Amino acid sequence: MPTAIRSTDLTLDEVARLAGRYGVPVEDALLIALNIHGIASEVNRHRARVRVRLAEEPAVPWMVIVPLNASRSPFKLAGEELLLGEHVVGVVRKIDADEAVGGYFRDGGRAATLNPNARSRCVGCAFCPNTLEAAADPRLSEEQELSDLLTAMVEQHPRRDLSELREVTVSTGCFEREEAAVEHLVGLRSVLAGWDITARIGFLTSVVRSDAAFARLAEAVAPFVLRLTAECFTRRDLLLKASKARVGFSEMPSLLQRARQAGLGTSFTYIVGLDPLDDLRTGVTALAEHVTEFPNFQVYQAHNSIMEGLRVPTRQPLEFCLQARREIEDILAPSGTRPATWECYRPLWYFTFAGERLVAA
**Contact characters 160-179, ligand SF4, x per CB under 6 A:** -------------x------
Tell me how far, at minimum, the Cβ of 304 lies from ligand SF4, in Å: 15
In sequence order, which residues have a C-beta less than 8 Å from that of residue 281 and are 6 or more positions away?
327, 331
- The upper half-sphere exposure of residue 341, i.e. CA atoms within 13 Å in the direction of its Cβ, equals 17
User: How far is the C-alpha of 271 from the C-alpha of 312, rounded, in Å?
Assistant: 11
Tell me how far, at minimum, the Cβ of 125 lies from ligand SF4, in Å: 3
Dmax over Cα atoms in the chain, in whole Å? 58
Distances (CA, A) of 230 to 23, 170, 226: 28, 16, 12
Mapping DSSP to helix (H, G, I), strand (E, B) and coil, where does residue 78 land?
A: strand
122 forms part of the interface with ligand SF4 (CB under 6 A): yes
User: How far is the C-alpha of 302 from the C-alpha of 20, rounded, in Å?
Assistant: 26
290 forms part of the interface with ligand SF4 (CB under 6 A): no
- Among 216, 339, 228, 232, CA closest to 291: 228
User: How far is the C-alpha of 235 from the C-alpha of 153, rounded, in Å?
Assistant: 39
46 forms part of the interface with ligand SF4 (CB under 6 A): no
Q: Which is nearer to ligand SF4, 271 or 284 (CB)?
A: 271
As a whole number of Å, the CA-based R_g of the chain is: 20
User: CB nearest ligand SF4: which residue?
Assistant: 173
Q: Which is nearer to ligand SF4, 22 or 104 (CB)?
A: 104
Q: Which is nearer to ligand SF4, 128 or 230 (CB)?
A: 128
Mapping DSSP to helix (H, G, I), strand (E, B) and coil, where does residue 25 land?
A: coil
Q: Which is nearer to ligand SF4, 90 or 173 (CB)?
A: 173
Q: Which of residues 129-158 bind ligand SF4 (CB under 6 A)?
A: 130
Tell me how far, at minimum, the Cβ of 7 lies from ligand SF4, in Å: 23
Q: Which is nearer to ligand SF4, 37 or 119 (CB)?
A: 119
124 forms part of the interface with ligand SF4 (CB under 6 A): yes
What is residue 312's DSSP assignment? Answer: P
Q: Which of residues 173-212 bind ligand SF4 (CB under 6 A)?
A: 173
How wide is the angle at C-alpha 82 spanned by C-alphas 54 and 347, nearest 5°? 55
**Contact characters 232-251, ligand SF4, x per CB under 6 A:** ---------x--x-------
With CB under 6 A as the contact rule, which of the stretches 59-67, 84-92, 119-127, 319-327 interacts with ligand SF4? 119-127
Mapping DSSP to helix (H, G, I), strand (E, B) and coil, where does residue 280 land?
A: helix
Q: Which of 45, 119, 189, 236 is in the footprint of ligand SF4 by CB under 6 A?
A: 119
Q: Which is nearer to ligand SF4, 122 or 274 (CB)?
A: 122
Q: Which of 16, 78, 97, 123 is in the footprint of ligand SF4 by CB under 6 A?
A: 123
Amino acid at site 186: V
User: How far is the C-alpha of 59 from the C-alpha of 148, rounded, in Å?
Assistant: 37
Q: How many other C-beta atoms lie within 10 A of the C-beta of residue 290?
A: 20
128 forms part of the interface with ligand SF4 (CB under 6 A): yes
Residues forming contacts to ligand SF4 in the complex (CB under 6 A) are 119, 122-125, 128, 130, 173, 241, 244
